[in-house]
Structure 1
Amino acid sequence: MNIDDVVLNFAPGSLVALNVVLGLIMFGIALDTAPSDFKAVAKAPKAMIIALAAQIVLLPAVTFGLTLLLNVQASIALGMILVACCPPGNISQVLTYRSGGNVALSVSMTAVSNVVYIFLLPISLAFWGGLHPTAGELVRAVSLNGWQMLLEIFLIIGVPFFAGLLIRARWPRFAAKVQPYARWVSLLGLVGFIAAALIGNWAIFMAFIGVVLLAVFLHDAVALGLGYASARIGGLGVRDRKAITFEVGIRNAGLGLGLVFAFFGGLGGMAVVAGWWGIWDIIAGLTVATLWARHSKRADAAAAAATAAPDAARPQGAATSEAEPTA
């Protein structure tokens, strides 16, 4: 069985539910975004420029090379490229907080990035997908309509995002109360939806689990590593590095899954990659964030102990400077 010829079973009503969940995710991000977040980016744009360059240019380019290196089938390659071209996921802020990173920067980057990706995603997917030696045939076969995809993305991302910004601006107290529920309900809904989609197509998933597991594992590791390396080379501090690591490494694979069914007819390799990415992304991100937080605590404790050591070694009552001569 060739995964490029497999189509996943997916009820039309389920696609509507997925779009609602994705819209709720964007609504939750907007409720946590203030105008000051955008102003902060304008005042200190270095971190944002690094994050955008890593996401827009480096991640798709490195993903393109990874698909050639792994020599995966066309639909799997296109699924990996699609995920790389998707905007960052909102769980990046949760992971940044858990790791001890710069949450304010994470919120700002996610807000700006999602606005940019409304227009950028169709262009990036068409360019990198069309350039691929095997996946390009799939892109041309579906006659990908960039304007239609732009409209679909705007309805899923743009409308709820701008609605959330408006509510946050006019009713900040209400937004503060609703935002935590919107964030976690949408996240749980997305995970549940992806899990249900995989279970409903379990035979297909198990038939290709080996190559998909390897591809997604390596792809996700590369994305996280690319975020960290970009921030480090850019000379950013540890807290900013953590924020950019998760901003680049965590992608909105749920949106990618929705686009697979909307524009590629539920093509097997693309759907399985996007679906598994949405689950593994969270597992890998939580693992990295937890280990990173523990490492930072140990490093801080060691630094504090090293600072305290000279004071502890000084004899009690010893003078810190020469005494003034007595008359």
Structure 2
Amino acid sequence: NSSNISTAEKKSWIETAGEVISTAFPAWVALGCLLGLLKPESFNWVQPKWTVMGITLTMLGMGMTLTFDDLRTALAMPKELFTGFILQYSVMPSSAYFVSKLLNLPSHYAAGLILVGCCPGGTASNIVTYIARGNVALSVLMTAASTMSAVIMTPFLTAKLAGQFVAVDGAGLLMSTLQVVLLPVLGGAFLNQYFRSLVRAVNPIMPPIAVATVAVLCGNAIAQCSSAILVSGCQVVKAVVLLHAFGFFFGYVVSRVLGIDVSSSRTISIEVGMQNSVLGVVLATQHFGNPLTAVPCAVSSVCHSIIGSALAGIWR
């Protein structure tokens, strides 16, 4: 019996550690980016194929938190979910385009900002919604809905909006999104449905793995262009902060105007404001010639995490 107790204790210790690491994720990502900026050579070991594996694993972990019922509900789109979905793919892409024009961003940065604006909701938004006492079920469904439709929406909107700044490989974006987003999420949901005990065993270690992946991918994206960022970084940070501020603000205000309750409006705000920036980093690295395109995506993952966590703290 004592052995049972010790395994339970060990399990809860792993879970607690995982939760602590996940909750502090803005700090880890910021550290990764800072390291990439000041000591770019510390990311020399990162191979391009690892970035794809890392995000695939992260999305698989996200899929493992979903059931097929969740996915069915996500596709059926009740009112709050539909509102959030429309805001996700209207507010963020148009804000990114507007901010690029407003700040007169160089084309590579503009393309990166628009790419991140067209990405689906971030996986971390579920943690932040939980901290903010929002509607976690809605958050999970919104992330699922925007993620499943990202296969069409992200390449289509990026090609439309960023196409005038740089050449966009729409078909390539589509294939990559299918490969690193849709398939792992469906795979994770499948495992959760039919191999529940396996999923229960690995679930506690998935969030820390996701956090580490995001920190490394973003740090690496910054490291690739550290010298350029030290020259023109301020402009990118300003653009990214504006983009996310618009997302959080309009996400909340429009939801309230439409008569959605406070808890769900907070959730929609967090979902719209927080992006799957790492997907942006991976797509930028794979499909845009200039490494600078990935910079707004990497900066974005720090910014939206910090703004989101701050909001969560206030709303809590």
Contact kept, 8 Å, 1:31 with 1:176, in 2: the verdict is no
Structure-2 residue corresponding to 1:186: 210
Residue 114 (1) aligns with residue 142 (2) = no
Quote the Cα distance in structure 2 between the aligned partners of 1:187 and 1:178. 15
Quote the Cα distance in structure 2 between the aligned partners of 1:193 and 1:145. 22
- Tell me how many residue pairs correspond in the alignment: 276
Q: If you compute each CA radius of gyration, which structure gives the higher value, 1 or 2?
A: 1
Secondary structure of 1:89's counterpart equals coil
Structure-1 residue corresponding to 2:158: 125
Query: 1:154-213, CA deviations, whole angstroms, 9 ceiling, x for partnerless residues?
Result: 111122111111101101232233223212211222113312442454222211121112
Secondary structure of 1:138's counterpart equals coil
Compute the displacement of 1:43 (Å).
6.7
Identity, in percent, stands at: 26
Match of 2:181 among 157, 164, 172: 157
Quote the Cα distance in structure 2 between the aligned partners of 1:147 and 1:12. 30
C-alpha change, 1:291 and 1:157, in structure 2 (3 Å) is same
Residue 234 (1) aligns with residue 255 (2) = no
AA aligned opposite 1:287? A
C-alpha change, 1:17 and 1:43, in structure 2 (3 Å) is closer
Compute the displacement of 1:12 (Å).
9.9
AA aligned opposite 2:309? L
Secondary structure of 2:166's counterpart equals helix
**Higher alpha-carbon deviation: 51-60 or 8-17:** 8-17
Residue 286 (1) aligns with residue 286 (2) = no
Quote the Cα distance in structure 1 between the aligned partners of 2:71 and 2:165. 40
Structure-1 residue corresponding to 2:57: 24
Compute the displacement of 1:127 (Å).
0.8
Match of 1:261 among 265, 285, 295: 285
Structure-2 residue corresponding to 1:69: 102
Secondary structure of 2:47's counterpart equals helix
Compute the displacement of 1:37 (Å).
1.8
Compute the displacement of 1:42 (Å).
6.3
Residue 88 (1) aligns with residue 121 (2) = yes
Contact kept, 8 Å, 2:252 with 2:266, in 1: the verdict is yes
Quote the Cα distance in structure 1 between the aligned partners of 2:209 and 2:274. 18
| TM-score, structure 1 as length reference | 0.79
Match of 2:269 among 225, 237, 245: 245
Residue 138 (1) aligns with residue 154 (2) = no
Quote the Cα distance in structure 1 between the aligned partners of 2:309 and 2:89. 24
C-alpha change, 1:238 and 1:208, in structure 2 (3 Å) is same
Query: 1:284-322, CA deviations, whole angstroms, 9 ceiling, x for partnerless residues?
Result: 2111111111xxxxxxxxxxxxxxxxxxxxxxxxxxxxx
Contact kept, 8 Å, 1:85 with 1:125, in 2: the verdict is yes
Quote the Cα distance in structure 1 between the aligned partners of 2:300 and 2:59. 19
AA aligned opposite 2:132? S
Structure-2 residue corresponding to 1:299: none
Match of 2:294 among 271, 276, 282: 271
Match of 1:218 among 213, 228, 242: 242
Query: 1:83-139, CA deviations, whole angstroms, 9 ceiling, x for partnerless residues?
Result: 010111100000000000010111111112111111221111111112xxxxx1412
Contact kept, 8 Å, 1:95 with 1:246, in 2: the verdict is yes
C-alpha change, 1:280 and 1:171, in structure 2 (3 Å) is same
Q: Which ranges of structure 1 fall in alignment gaps of 5 or more residues?
A: 1-7, 131-135, 294-327
Compute the displacement of 1:44 (Å).
6.5
C-alpha change, 1:138 and 1:249, in structure 2 (3 Å) is same
Contact kept, 8 Å, 1:27 with 1:182, in 2: the verdict is no
Secondary structure of 1:208's counterpart equals helix
Contact kept, 8 Å, 1:59 with 1:226, in 2: the verdict is no
Compute the displacement of 1:277 (Å).
0.8
AA aligned opposite 2:106? Q
Contact kept, 8 Å, 1:85 with 1:121, in 2: the verdict is yes
Q: Which ranges of structure 2 fall in alignment gaps of 5 or more residues?
A: 1-39
RMSD over aligned Cα, in angstroms? 2.1
C-alpha change, 1:56 and 1:207, in structure 2 (3 Å) is same
Compute the displacement of 1:40 (Å).
4.0
| TM-score, structure 2 as length reference | 0.81
Contact kept, 8 Å, 2:129 with 2:139, in 1: the verdict is yes
AA aligned opposite 2:226? W
